[in-house]
Structure 1
């Protein structure tokens, strides 16, 4: 079976001999369509590189990211410190690598929280309609009525600044669009003939939602999540910049910019380099999301 996965003729066969062959053939065609989109391919490569840097930070870092050395503060980029040092003599390159762990970790935590919640709320509202739809959508509207950053700042300030509070705050303001998207998809699916056939076999509503409706909503949800990751990165960095996210000495990109913004004109490398990291990560996820949208949801391409 594994050898067949590298057989182009087997993957592109017009008459597959098994469900596995048909499934792998579809995946291979999607990959071919995605590969033809060069910007999306560059975005995927950049995202993989960022994740690799975050995972391998202890191996790639040349210095301890939190060790201070005031005798070497604000040094420009050199062979000893590839991206220079900050106001406390800490190596910017090492802090950037560990900052990828913090920032991307927060983004992944938000996605893990909001994607299932938004999918479940939207599918339940769209399938049952009636009172369930009205109640769930009104709750969604309440969260959408507040500016995201203001609501997140209020939540974090009410609890305690920190990464955990920032993740929960971002999650609270991010799930409503996913719920609305899943609801719209569900309302177009619930009356389809194959759903009616499943219902006639005696399947329960919960089984229909979990096994037959949610999988059909995943394509659009994955596209939306990927496109939103850039906004979540900027959101997390904004909370860190305002002092409500990751707290010093944690090497989070937004926090790094906040503590070094006064050196922008003289020691430009200290605030500029984490800003470039945020830009590159956001752009990479946007390019990747655009490519996935064209492949998984061609109606919006």
Structure 2
């Protein structure tokens, strides 16, 4: 049995790494195998991926993992208990609520913000950037000037202004962060499009009678995806910090939702004596942000061999 497995594994590897793939499926699987091999060579990137999987696991099974309710506490007997006391692993806050349970449920809000911002901002930036880069001329000028206007404002300041206008709440915070996040993606997509639009590959598609819309959506956008994925992954930490900043200022998720930034805000009054109330959600933000940064660096090296060789 072991001999057969040892024989099959090199055969499969040789099939994936073949210089002459016999089908598109083989070519795609071979490319994915090469990318995965480059990615797994970076141990820090694998650590970042494990942190992300851990976040997904905790968010998915929060109801099972959380030992207590995230919104109901025990004011009489469990207020501001230190970590490890009376069955509270990370201590309790000023309302007698278990901090660990609030962190576990707060991971859902963090993923909610990250996923929605990526789903909204990345496609908008990709669409604006590819249209601008392929069309050129006055269309390029108008779209890039609009992009420059958004880039002229710091992200947090613009998000604060938008949330103040729309009203506090997690949905408005997501919308505000998404509005401030798409311009860098548009810049990257435009730069990538300008390198591809005059290539022989695109010229051949154009000679075959493909419309500009078909060229942009089916041929140019897929070429921009790898750079966009890397940038989105690297921006996840900034999105988490912006959402936490809005929650800290009271403009994000509203009480009693266990949002990590709001938890830090409620614990700042006890930072000297009951440090764990603010430190535990701060540590959660640090770990998750670090995980996304490590994952983004690994994806950049895996998807761009030129970066890996430097």
> So what's the TM-score if we normalise by structure 2?
0.93
In 1: Cα distance, 2:198 partner to 2:37 partner: 33
In 2: Cα distance, 1:299 partner to 1:130 partner: 31
Q: 1:53 aligns with which of 40, 54, 58?
A: 58
Q: 1:174 aligns with which of 174, 181, 201?
A: 181
Q: Point out 4+ residue stretches in structure 1 off by more than 2 angstroms.
A: 6-10, 12-17, 297-301
* 1:137-176 Cα deviation digits (max 9, x unpaired): 0100111111211111111111210101111111111100
Q: Give the Å deviation of 1:300.
A: 4.1
Q: 1:32 aligns with which of 22, 31, 37?
A: 37
Q: Give the Å deviation of 1:12.
A: 2.4
* 1:233-261 Cα deviation digits (max 9, x unpaired): 10100000011111111100000000111
Aligned to 2:82: 76
In 2: Cα distance, 1:158 partner to 1:17 partner: 57
Aligned to 1:244: 251
Q: 2:269 aligns with which of 262, 269, 280?
A: 262
Q: 1:16 aligns with which of 14, 21, 28?
A: 21
Q: How many residues align?
A: 299
Aligned to 1:147: 154
- Structural RMSD (CA): 1.6
Aligned to 2:196: 189
Aligned to 1:86: 93
Q: 2:46 aligns with which of 11, 32, 41?
A: 41
In 2: Cα distance, 1:120 partner to 1:165 partner: 23
Match of 1:69, SS? coil
- Within-5 A mapping of 1:93-108: 93-108=100-115
Q: 1:220 aligns with which of 218, 222, 227?
A: 227
Match of 2:294, SS? helix
**Unpaired runs of at least 5, structure 1:** none
In 1: Cα distance, 2:73 partner to 2:165 partner: 32
In 2: Cα distance, 1:125 partner to 1:27 partner: 30
Match of 1:178, SS? helix
Aligned to 2:69: 64
In 2: Cα distance, 1:198 partner to 1:220 partner: 23
1:114 aligns with 2:121: yes
**Unpaired runs of at least 5, structure 2:** 1-7
